[in-house]
Amino acid sequence: MQPSFISGVETSPSPEIWFGELCFRKGETVLISASSGQGKSSLLSYIFGERNDYAGEIRFDDRDINTLKKSEWQKIRKTELSCVFQGLRLFNGLTVMENIHLKNRLTQHKTTQEIIHLLEVAGLADKIDEKAGRLSFGQQQRVATVRALCQPFDFILMDEPFSHLDETNIAILAELITREIAQKNAAMILCSLGYEYPFNYHKKLVISD
């Protein structure tokens, strides 16, 4: 795969990502490190099917994702792909619980009590009825992470999800995520600005300048 922002370049400083054949498998935990502006978010957007400004193919279950219909993408994003976006995409005018219920109602994946338990573990017990727009960005990151866990998935994509969190909260979320992906035998693809975070990685990839 070659993204549009490096079109016309014959070689890449990151051939295992951009010019090679890269495979993500269920059960794997993968770290992708890069400085800002090197294409981490672009890569996740390609995998999630939100952008197609690249040459080559991305295949999901051996199908070129550019051939998938809108209804097929809806099913994939409902049951197979979950994502914590760098911009989080919370609804600021809705409460924490309302934001999470919007996703969970699609699949009834978690009970209300299970969601409350996740929020309590994430240190958000007193924010359940607070509007998301009134939270700090770090608190919003924790909400977005809990929301991403409240659906079935084979792969969870995480774009700098801990950038505004301290080590204690990172460790708490890492434990929650690790437990969920283990239960589902799912894969995690985590993008970071060079921080390794407390996961047991199967692969560590670097996007170079």
pLDDT tens figures, 129-179: 999 999 999 999 999 999 999 999 999 999 999 999 999 999 999 999 999
pLDDT at 11: 53
Average pLDDT of the chain is 93
Residue ranges covered by each domain of the chain: 25-92+148-206
Architecture per CATH, domain 25-92+148-206, reads as: 3-Layer(aba) Sandwich (3.40)
What sections of 54-95 are H helices per DSSP?
70-79
* 170 burial level (CB within 10 Å; 0-12, 13-18, 19+): middle
Measured CA to CA, the distance from residue 101 to residue 111 in angstroms comes to 10
Say what the pTM is.
0.92
Compute the distance between CA of residue 205 and CA of residue 14 in angstroms, rounded to an integer. 9
Query: What pLDDT does 8 receive?
Result: 56
* pLDDT for the residue numbered 29: 98
List pLDDT tens digits, range 44-101.
999 999 999 998 899 999 999 999 999 999 999 999 999 999 999 999 999 999 999 9
User: Which residue, 160, 151, 141, is CA-closest to 31?
Assistant: 160
